[in-house]
Structure formats: C-alpha cells, structure tokens
Amino acid sequence: MSTTQDFSGYGGTWCPGCGDWAIGMAIKQAFVQLELTPSSLMVFFDIGCSGNMNDYLNAYAMHGLHGRSIPTALGAKLANHTLRAVVVGGDGGIYGEGGNHFLHACRGNHDITVIVHDNGVYGLTTGQVAPTADKGYRSKSTPAGIIEFPANPLALALSQGASFVAQSFAGDLPHVVETIKKGVSHKGFSLINILQPCVTFNKVNTYQYYLPKVYKLDESYDPTDLREAFHKTNESLEEKFPLGVLYQVSRPAFHEEVSHLPADISLGMRPAFTQLEALIKQFV
C-alpha cells in the first residue's frame, strides 16, 4: 500500500494559497486511494505552473513541451498500455497551444486522464490572458480587455467524443480527489477541468468568486444523458459552475480498437516480428 509520501518529490514552488497546492495533494491522495504506486503509472506534465508539479509528484514522467503533453501521453500509452497515463496541464497548454491535440485525443478516446488547472491566466509568464478567460478580461496582453469569447472546454470535449467529462473546484479538496479517482478509473479519454484560482494574477476568478457559483451535481443527475450534459456545459455563461461528472459513457479506448495490440501485453513486450520474407514477396 503506497502513501502520499511515496508520491512526494521535491517541494512545490507555487504561491501561498494557489489552487495548485490542493490539486497536487488531491492527485497524490487519489493515486494512493486507487492503490497505485509511482512506478505503476506515467504522468505527462505540460509547461506552466501546473506542469511544475513534475518535481513534486513522483512517477514515470515526461515533462515535455508546452501544449504537447497530450500527444506524448497517448504515444506512451500506445507503447506501454499496461501503465496508466495521466496528463497534468493548464488551460493555456491544453486548450490554447495544444487545442488541436486536445480535440483529436477526445475523438480517439485515448485512455488517458487529462487534469486541467483552469485559472484563466498564464501564471508562469506572469499574467497574460488564457483561452478560458471571460470576454473583456483585462490582462498584461489584453489591457483593453480580451476580444475573444471564452473557450468552453467541457462542451468542446463532449462534441468531440470524450467519454468522460468532469469539473471540479480547487477549493473543495475531497471533491477533487473523488473526481480524479473516477477519471483515472475510467477506461477511455477523461477530462477533469478544475477551476483553480490564481491568487497572484487573476483578481476576478478568486475563491470568493467561485464559492457562491459552484454547485455539485446531485444523484438525480444522469451522466449518460449527452443532451443534458451539453446543457450543463453552457451554464458557465450564466456564471454557474456544475461540479462532478457531467458525462460518462463506456466505449472501447483507442488502444483496444487497435486490433493487433494484445490486451494484456504491451507493445514493447510482445515478441519481435521476424517474418520479413512475407513482406519481401510483394517487391519481387
């Protein structure tokens, strides 16, 4: 049985009060409760404050390029699908720089869990606007207010075929833990968008801002109802933020649909192909 200590590397480097502390703790707790060990999973860190969890969370990991954590994750998953794969990134990396990868990973239902720290700003570069910021949000890069409409990652994921779409709030640690456990346990692509106040650079979307506006989906909510899920994703327009699993459906994951990939043995562990003669024939 592992402990959160097993997963703890070097200390975090986040600002006091940053939502990333709660998410970092929640990830470790979820892994422990799922009886995982640092050697039993692969974590793919994006670039940003969120990705700087790389030295704080022990695992087989790639700390790659900004926006590219999803493609590295799904490549590693295809090579070594007996290990779980988790992506840790921010709204800038996952929805901005890596937006194209995000939507195609949803389409492919790759068996990875994408945990997004959604704070509406670029923290590590000291406060430029991120794709999820509300229209009119003033930042270093948008002093007159951002012209674009905010990205709606939950609706985007649903429309592109993600089989698990959830939202949580960094101000509610137990809820984050439970949601990550559900997402990591889900077979297929799971998105967990976590509303995460940036205490230093975002003076609008604070804990105080979110507290009265978040609410938990209750037991009457049916997460298999796609139409209802789409409805929920649009509540952000009214500054209402549903927390919990908005949508979950069981569908074969990408690697399960690669017919020649055995279920129980990873790509790297199967015997080498040596029947070259069979291929040579076609050229003779």
Q: What's at 33, amino acid-wise?
A: Q
Residue of the chain from 73, 130, 146, 195 that contacts another protein (CB under 8 A): 73
Interface positions, 25-44, toward another protein (CB under 8 A): 37-40, 42, 44
CB atoms within 10 A of CB 274: 7
Q: Establish if 64 lies at the interface with another protein (CB under 8 A).
A: yes
Among 61, 130, 151, 184, binds another protein (CB under 8 A): 61
Q: Is 2 in the site for another protein (CB under 8 A)?
A: no
Neighbours of 228 (CB within 10 A): 14
Q: How many residues lie near another protein (CB under 8 A)?
A: 54
Instruction: Check binding of 101 to another protein (CB under 8 A).
Output: yes
Q: Does 204 bind another protein (CB under 8 A)?
A: no
Q: Does 83 bind another protein (CB under 8 A)?
A: yes
Site string for another protein, 238-277 (x = CB under 8 A): --------------------xxxx----xxx-x-xx-xxx
Instruction: Between 218 and 277, name the residue whose CB sits nearer to another protein.
Output: 277
Query: Binding of another protein at residue 77 (CB under 8 A)?
Result: yes
Q: Is 278 an interacting residue with respect to another protein (CB under 8 A)?
A: yes
Binding stretches for another protein (CB under 8 A): 9-10, 37-40, 42, 44-45, 47, 54-55, 58-65, 68, 71-80, 82-83, 100-101, 104, 258-261, 266-268, 270, 272-273, 275-280, 283-284
